[in-house]
Amino acid sequence: RWLGELTRSSLLGRKPMHLVYNGIDLDHFRPCGEGPARPRSMTLLFVSGPNDPTKGLAELLRAYRALRERDPALTLRIAGNAPDDARHHPGVEFLGEVPRSRMPEVYQSADVFILPTLADNTPVTIMEAMACGVPVIATEVGGIPELVEREVTGKLVPRGDTGALAGAIEALTGDEAGRRRMAQAARERAVARFSKERMALELEKVYAGIPGTAGARPVT
């Protein structure tokens, strides 16, 4: 919706516009089954493409350093490539490039998914984390508030505000009941809004409404 309104105001004027959110495979990205409790450190997860500075890794590392001084057991796991200067922080685990087939287990191993991005529309990584039943902390930019409902499926913080990011992480990692509630709500929201089947049906409706395409079916 955010991108649509931005485009409408600058390019399309009064032309018809259709809102269709991306879809993901909810059978692939899903919570892991309940197993025996296992003692481990609290794990934060950050996922990004190759060395993309707009995703907010520098801001996350500053917040993490401050938090780990108070909680040495806190772990930050990074999936994807990261710049060399980010690889020398205690408690940070670098997974490197992870095959898509293994990404569900990466999400499932996290207690909280973090995306302090500086600019974005509707990141698929947030959808995947929510589908795996992981609460999200992200910046309140672009279309992210359309994915993450504040205090229901996660927390939203201002862009570039390291203090607010650290405060949100500390609050959520210290609230087991809140994390469980948000994890369940995140999965429910993903099932209701992020399925690839829903995306295909909505696209089909759009194509069916275009003059001259009656009876045609889009390739999905």
Neighbouring-strand partners of residue 157: 139
3-state secondary structure of 129: helix
pLDDT in tens, the chain (220 residues): 767 666 666 666 667 777 888 899 999 999 987 544 444 679 999 998 766 788 999 999 999 999 999 999 999 999 987 776 666 788 899 998 999 999 999 999 999 999 999 999 899 999 999 999 999 999 999 999 999 999 999 999 999 999 999 999 999 999 999 999 999 999 999 999 999 998 898 888 888 877 655 555 544 4
**Three-state SS string across 130-156, please?**
HHCCCCEEEECCCCHHHHCCECCCEEE
Q: Tokens for 167?
A: 């405060």
- pTM, 2 dp: 0.85
Residue appearing with tokens 């992020």: 194
CA distance 69 to 117: 24
Return the structure tokens found at 135.
């609460």
Q: Which two tokens stand for residue 109?
A: 């191993």
CA atoms within 13 A on the CB side of 154: 33
Place of tokens 């003692």: 39
